[in-house]
Amino acid sequence: MIEDSKLIPENTTRLIMTQLLLALDFFHKKKIIHRDIKLDNVLINQIQDQIHYEIRIADFGLAAFTLKDEYITHRCGSPGYVGPEVLKGRPYNYKADIFGAGSVFFNLLSRRYLFSGTTAEEVLRRNARCQIDHIRKYLETVSTLGQDLLFWLLNSDPEKRPTAAEALQHDWFKNDKNIINDLLNVNNMICSQ
């Protein structure tokens, strides 16, 4: 269980995830894989009495620059947030960051860690197996669309995981589609220069 047991409302979680996925979209278009997306590295600054949130991603110590569509093999990351393909020693790409974002999403929705264990090794073993059906019981208050997006981000097969831009097109974000599309276009313009 995460220290503060108070649940974050789903609308607030949506604001946080929108910004996190927009940042990942930008990094990935710049050919940067963060490789350590986890709750501790997502800094949330509350502005104006919980109405606005400003998200920053921290700690680029494990980040890697890649060539277009390049896969890398160096194993790194934090237990419970690492894409299972990384732990299995398979070549991976930016989709490993998407798994980390999914794990953060679960943290925000449930105030729990995706995988638990008494040692880091036990958490890593569970992370590598990526059996996540047990989390459904912690999502009873989460909308069907929120659950659908979560399981898409956490797909054990990176080929079936969305890109950050694809995730932002999910119906869970439908009320903010126009602004999200505008911001994705800004990312495209900046990254194409």
Of 36, 148, 171, 176, the catalytic one is: 36
Q: What's the whole-model pTM score?
A: 0.92
Closest residue by Cα to residue 112 from 82, 139, 77, 142: 139
Residue type at 147 in one-letter notation: Q
Q: How far is CA 35 from the centre of its chain?
A: 11
Active site residue 36: yes
**Cα–Cα distance measured from residue 97 to residue 142, given in angstroms and rounded to the nearest whole number:** 23
The CA dihedral of 100, 106, 109, 113, to the nearest 10 degrees, is -110
- Of 47-51, 109-113, 169-173, 186-190, the range with the lowest mean pLDDT is 47-51
Please state, rounded to an integer, the average pLDDT across all residues of the chain.
91
What pLDDT, on a 0 to 100 scale, did the predictor assign at position 8? 76
Return the amino acid letter for 151. F
Biggest alpha carbon distance in the chain? 48
For 31-44, write each residue's pLDDT tens digit: 999 999 999 999 98
Smallest Cα–Cα separation from 101: which of 133, 77, 123? 77
